[in-house]
Amino acid sequence: MIIRSMFVAALAASTALPALADDIARQDTPAITVSGEASVSAPPDLAQIDAGVASDAKTAREAAEANNAAMAKVLQALKQAGIADKDYQTSRLSLQPQYAQNRPAQPAVTGYRASNRVTIKVRDVAKVASVIDTLVAAGANDVGNIYFSVAEPSKLLDQAREKAVADARRKAEIYAKAAGVTLGQPLSISEDGAPAPVFRAKTFAAPMAATPTPVAQGEETLAITVNVTWAIKPGQ
């Protein structure tokens, strides 16, 4: 049993030696480490809207019943507007007492407020304004944030990655030239963090006017930062 353990340990050590040697050699290799940055902008193709209904009444039951009826109308309006069932989801449901103002010592309950909010995905950003108008017309009096984003950012991020590596090479070549050396092969490449689209939100106050809701979608910017270590050789 002891002999077998010694054999396993020796085998593991012999397997680890080449990797260790490579690490040591890499550490001894003269190198330049730089960061490359790049960004790509694109119009958003997905929007998210937070909306719902808040209902006040004297009793908790009355508030809940009024809210349920009002929210049912809002959900029906979403269906009629062509929003798929999978694209809206309840995000907050609450029933809370309301207190008289200016009585901090012994606040008295004056009624109850029931609220129900849903998060809605709009896959055609050109319809965002009409969806908001539909919600308000159906009775939604609690319309909140709107977030625009790029639904599938992978291809755009890959473009940014290529540009970021090119930017890193450009910087490394400047340093190599200034130092009188020649740029070699990259030894390591790493990416900072988890790149994602930058979301922009716009808040709407309810109730709204009867005129169409103006919505500006703008552009989304996707940014990448990479760290690259390049081997260097004596200048020619």
Work out the pLDDT band at 8, boundaries 50, 70, 90.
very low
Instruction: Write out pLDDT tens, residues 203-226.
Output: 444 444 456 666 666 778 889 999
DSSP per position, 133-158: HHHHHTT-----EEEEE-S--HHHHH
Which DSSP helix (H) or strand (E) runs through 6? helix 2-28
Residue 202 has pLDDT above 80, yes or no: no
Instruction: Write out pLDDT tens, residues 111-156.
Output: 999 999 999 999 999 899 999 999 999 999 999 888 888 888 888 8
Q: Which of 9-23, 34-48, 101-115 has the highest mean pLDDT?
A: 34-48
Of 214, 215, 49, whose CA–CA distance to 117 is shortest?
49
pLDDT at 25: 45
CA–CA distances in Å: residue 12 to residues 2, 5, 19, 230:
15, 11, 11, 31
Work out the pLDDT band at 178, boundaries 50, 70, 90.
very high
- Which is more confident, 4 or 177? 177
Tell me whether domains 30-44+152-236 and 46-149 share a fold.
no
The CATH class of the 30-44+152-236 domain is alpha beta
pLDDT at 193: 72
Work out the pLDDT band at 104, boundaries 50, 70, 90.
low
Residue 201 has pLDDT above 70, yes or no: no
Residue 95 has pLDDT above 80, yes or no: yes
CB atoms within 10 A of CB 74: 23
pTM score, two decimals? 0.64
**Edge-to-edge strands, sheet with 220-234:** 31-42, 220-234, 181-191
Domain positions in the chain are 30-44+152-236, 46-149
Work out the pLDDT band at 192, boundaries 50, 70, 90.
confident
Of 146, 186, 139, 187, whose CA–CA distance to 166 is shortest?
186
Query: What's the rounded Cα separation, in Å, for the pair 101 and 103?
Result: 6
CATH architecture for residues 46-149: 2-Layer Sandwich (3.30)
Residue 189 has pLDDT above 50, yes or no: yes
Which DSSP helix (H) or strand (E) runs through 79? helix 60-80
